[in-house]
């Protein structure tokens, strides 16, 4: 399924629910987390509905590669300091035991000066 009409991230990607966008193209949307853990905290989501990392297939490799290649550019754009003194964290929670709250693959990109409230 490329879209789930009941998925909040699908609705955000389609513009049905507003978000504070960081980046958008035909395949990917990045937007600020509504409950940030750090000075920089945004989500990177594929517009294609993929439930979790446990559902990724080999066919998804180009999309995930594109997403990962965007992370450093968007992290810097949003205020993360350069590596090695700066940096950022990329997290993909998967399933109930992994802390996944929304059943749509997404990467948290988290950074900025420490200490962070969570993480």
How do 28-32 and 40-46 pair as beta strands? antiparallel
pLDDT at 106 over 90: yes
Q: Set out the domains of the chain in order of their start, with CATH numbers.
A: 8-111 (3.30.428.10)
How do 40-46 and 107-111 pair as beta strands? antiparallel
Token pair 């966008």: residue: 21
Q: What pLDDT is recorded for position 32?
A: 98
pLDDT at 43 over 90: yes
Local confidence band at 119 (pLDDT 50, 70, 90 cut-offs):
low
pTM (2 decimals)? 0.93
Q: Which residues is 46 bridged to in the sheet? A: 28
Pair 62, 50: CB distance under 8 Å: no
**What are the catalytic residues?**
106
Q: What pLDDT is recorded for position 117?
A: 65
């Amino acid at each position: 399924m490329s879209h789930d009409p009941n998925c909040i991230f699908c609705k955000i990607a389609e513009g049905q629910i507003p978000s504070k966008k960081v980046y958008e193209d035909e395949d990917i949307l990045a937007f600020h987390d509504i409950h940030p853990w750090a000075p920089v905290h945004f989500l990177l989501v594929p517009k294609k509905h993929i439930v979790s990392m446990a559902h990724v297939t080999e066919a998804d490799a180009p999309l995930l590669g594109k997403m990962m290649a965007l992370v450093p550019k968007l992290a810097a754009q949003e205020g993360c300091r350069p590596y090695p003194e700066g940096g950022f964290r990329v997290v993909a929670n998967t399933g109930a035991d992994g802390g996944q709250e929304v059943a749509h693959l997404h990467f948290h990109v988290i950074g900025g000066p420490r200490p962070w409230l969570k993480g």
